[in-house]
Chain A
């Protein structure tokens, strides 16, 4: 681009447009972040100060004791430990199994590949409620209700959405890689885990984070299957705490912060792969 002399009027116009743009963006960002800031602000107030008007964003003397109180009432240590079990094991399952299935669909020339993929897409459309009740009946017949098996095992047996993600990514890899490896006499397990797997880094990270977050947030699964309070995940623990502390918003918001903030931290750490992964894999091409 060549530098052109701009008239002062045009410059003024550009300046005004820029100011409007930035003011708009700042306002929008404030609206989006406000609820979370208010959550943190509330969690540091005394119960009496909750109804104060006008609104105070930074409480006069922050009540860090709210967090201590919440940790005393709610057994967060156990809940977090339980939630880590129910969200890290599925990550392992997905990262192990879905690349295998996706490999079978994209890289192995067999007839089933063309049959399986449409079925996988179709199963994504089935409402969860349809399978939920019979599965509950089955798990209770097997005596596995109130264990983590119903929450974890499905992830070791191929979850459609993540197979789809993997497949979208693997389709972009050159097939010649696999063929060359085959000619060199590598077996398929080796091809998958030492050639394809390292290339799938971005999509594996995305899938891993999505699974982790999904399980950390999962509400209806533990709600149905976990009854013993010692086995509660953090979502269900928070739910039962909500019931007992109905109007103590400062405690509820403190508990809510404990639940939410780790996820936001994870997001900040994995942001690049995460947003990039979503953008590339959901390209629907």
Chain B
């Protein structure tokens, strides 16, 4: 091929030569690029496109892995709206997204500020703050069930001890009598237990926040200091706006993850329920969307119904992410320079 082009060039057609080489180069690069991306292309078709399409199909059937799927039109979707477990699970999930996520992200950002303190031995502090993030989520669930055991857990023992230190005179003034919550057994506190556990494992997010903090140019602070801005103003007017893209990203990814919250709740529920079927914790307070979906699919084998649940989850996640992105885009400042 190259020989041909060169001979064409020698006969005096420079424009044609350029065109030829360009298209040949392009074609060659196309095949190279395509070849290198091929594994992903196959994976994308087999593990994304195909499952999504078949999930859409199954969601209109009553497939249950024993009999061949029957077309039931929108039945799954109309049942789903009235299913009390679905509604309960949506409420629980919404709690985690609306209350749990802001708590854990603000805590993680706080920790990244701590990691940014200048002091001796900071590498060690950073390592220690990061270690919990290495603990597998199921292991940390098991661990926290023991730590926060309502009677023998060290947390409640500690709280009791702390309370006993307080002098009687102060106790008389308190408007309530203190009783440590029974964390994993009290429907009011179960989700808070999970949130506290999430805060303990915030290392990954905190390290990303730390990277963002380090990325803030120091001359901004210097200029502000010259202008007489105090620490507080510098923090809210410089630090927060400049790391806001990172916070936004963490928030969006957090929303997506929270909707899929599974492992920790599964472990907790395994402990508090006695039946063979996956439970929902004390009065279904830990029945999250993904737990309910797992139960429908793999305990009751309602595969078609579970696919409908999955599609609804997909749509909800898309909508919530989109709205969160639109709303937060107004608050985030991208124009750093």
| Chain A residues engaging chain B, CB cutoff 8 angstroms | 18, 21-22, 25, 28-29, 32-36, 38-39, 42, 50-51, 53-55, 97, 100-101, 103-105, 108-113, 116, 119-120, 123, 125-138, 140, 154, 156-159, 163, 188, 192, 213, 216-217, 219-220, 223-224, 235, 238-239, 242-243, 246, 249, 252-253, 256, 259-260, 263-264, 266-268, 271, 275, 278-280, 282-284
A275, B214: Cα distance in complex, Å: 14
Decide if B117 touches A104 in the complex (CB within 8 Å).
Answer: no
Any chain A CB within 8 A of the CB of B126?
yes
On chain B, the residues within 8 Å of A54 by CB distance are: 157, 161
Decide if A158 touches B30 in the complex (CB within 8 Å).
Answer: no
- Chain B residues 18-49 with CB under 8 Å of chain A are 26, 29-30, 32-37, 39-44, 46-48
Decide if B204 touches A29 in the complex (CB within 8 Å).
Answer: no
A274–chain B nearest beta-carbon distance, Å = 9
Decide if A188 touches B32 in the complex (CB within 8 Å).
Answer: yes
Decide if B37 touches A127 in the complex (CB within 8 Å).
Answer: no
Decide if A29 touches B39 in the complex (CB within 8 Å).
Answer: no
> B73-81, B135-143, B177-185: which lies at the A interface?
B135-143
- Chain B residues 108-145 with CB under 8 Å of chain A are 114, 117, 119, 121, 124-132, 134-140, 142-144
Decide if A235 touches B136 in the complex (CB within 8 Å).
Answer: yes
Extra A-B contacts (6), CB below 8 Å, given A33-B131, A129-B309:
A28-B114, A34-B154, A130-B313, A137-B54, A263-B134, A284-B249
Decide if B313 touches A127 in the complex (CB within 8 Å).
Answer: yes
On chain A, the residues within 8 Å of B117 by CB distance are: 21, 25
Any chain A CB within 8 A of the CB of B260?
yes
A158, B117: Cα distance in complex, Å: 39
Any chain A CB within 8 A of the CB of B105?
no
Known A32-B131, A238-B139; contact A101-B37, beta-carbon cutoff 8 A: yes
Known A111-B30, A130-B311, A259-B139; contact A188-B36, beta-carbon cutoff 8 A: yes
Decide if B39 touches A100 in the complex (CB within 8 Å).
Answer: yes
On chain B, the residues within 8 Å of A50 by CB distance are: 152
A237–chain B nearest beta-carbon distance, Å = 11
A110–chain B nearest beta-carbon distance, Å = 3
B109–chain A nearest beta-carbon distance, Å = 14
Decide if A129 touches B211 in the complex (CB within 8 Å).
Answer: no
Any chain A CB within 8 A of the CB of B293?
yes
Known A35-B147, A128-B260; contact A105-B37, beta-carbon cutoff 8 A: yes
Interface-centre pick from B44, B47, B271, B309 (highest chain A CB count, 10 A): B47
Decide if B136 touches A28 in the complex (CB within 8 Å).
Answer: no
A216, B136: Cα distance in complex, Å: 8
Any chain A CB within 8 A of the CB of B97?
no
Residue of B nearest to A18 (CB): B119
B225–chain A nearest beta-carbon distance, Å = 16
On chain A, the residues within 8 Å of B297 by CB distance are: 132-133, 136
Any chain A CB within 8 A of the CB of B216?
no
**Interface code B189-220, partner A: CB below 8 Å = 1, 0 otherwise?**
00000000000100010011011101100000
Decide if A39 touches B143 in the complex (CB within 8 Å).
Answer: yes
A54, B271: Cα distance in complex, Å: 26
A163, B44: Cα distance in complex, Å: 13
Any chain A CB within 8 A of the CB of B251?
no
Decide if A97 touches B139 in the complex (CB within 8 Å).
Answer: no
A75–chain B nearest beta-carbon distance, Å = 18
Decide if B266 touches A112 in the complex (CB within 8 Å).
Answer: no
Residue of A nearest to B307 (CB): A133
Known A243-B270, A249-B146; contact A133-B131, beta-carbon cutoff 8 A: no
Decide if B132 touches A134 in the complex (CB within 8 Å).
Answer: no
On chain A, the residues within 8 Å of B286 by CB distance are: none
13 A-B residue pairings within 8 Å (CB atoms): A25-B117, A29-B128, A32-B131, A116-B37, A129-B313, A130-B311, A132-B51, A135-B47, A157-B46, A158-B44, A256-B142, A279-B208, A284-B249
Any chain A CB within 8 A of the CB of B287?
no
Interface-centre pick from A22, A113, A140, A279 (highest chain B CB count, 10 A): A279
On chain B, the residues within 8 Å of A29 by CB distance are: 124-125, 128-129
Decide if B40 touches A279 in the complex (CB within 8 Å).
Answer: no
Known A129-B293, A242-B271; contact A21-B119, beta-carbon cutoff 8 A: yes
On chain B, the residues within 8 Å of A280 by CB distance are: 211
The 8 closest A-B pairs by CB, nearest first: A157-B43, A158-B40, A110-B33, A104-B36, A217-B136, A279-B211, A131-B51, A134-B51
A33, B260: Cα distance in complex, Å: 27
Residue of A nearest to B30 (CB): A110
Any chain A CB within 8 A of the CB of B52?
yes
Decide if A108 touches B143 in the complex (CB within 8 Å).
Answer: no
Decide if A25 touches B139 in the complex (CB within 8 Å).
Answer: no
On chain A, the residues within 8 Å of B126 by CB distance are: 275
Any chain A CB within 8 A of the CB of B263?
yes
Decide if A32 touches B128 in the complex (CB within 8 Å).
Answer: yes
On chain B, the residues within 8 Å of A108 by CB distance are: 29, 32-33, 36
Residue of B nearest to A275 (CB): B207
Decide if A25 touches B125 in the complex (CB within 8 Å).
Answer: yes
The residue from A18, A104, A219, A252 contacting B33, defined by CB atoms under 8 A apart: A104
A268, B143: Cα distance in complex, Å: 21
Any chain A CB within 8 A of the CB of B239?
no
Any chain A CB within 8 A of the CB of B60?
no
A133–chain B nearest beta-carbon distance, Å = 5
Decide if B30 touches A112 in the complex (CB within 8 Å).
Answer: yes
A29, B270: Cα distance in complex, Å: 31
On chain B, the residues within 8 Å of A51 by CB distance are: 151-152
Residue of B nearest to A224 (CB): B298
On chain A, the residues within 8 Å of B52 by CB distance are: 126, 130-131, 134
A55, B140: Cα distance in complex, Å: 21
On chain B, the residues within 8 Å of A192 by CB distance are: 36
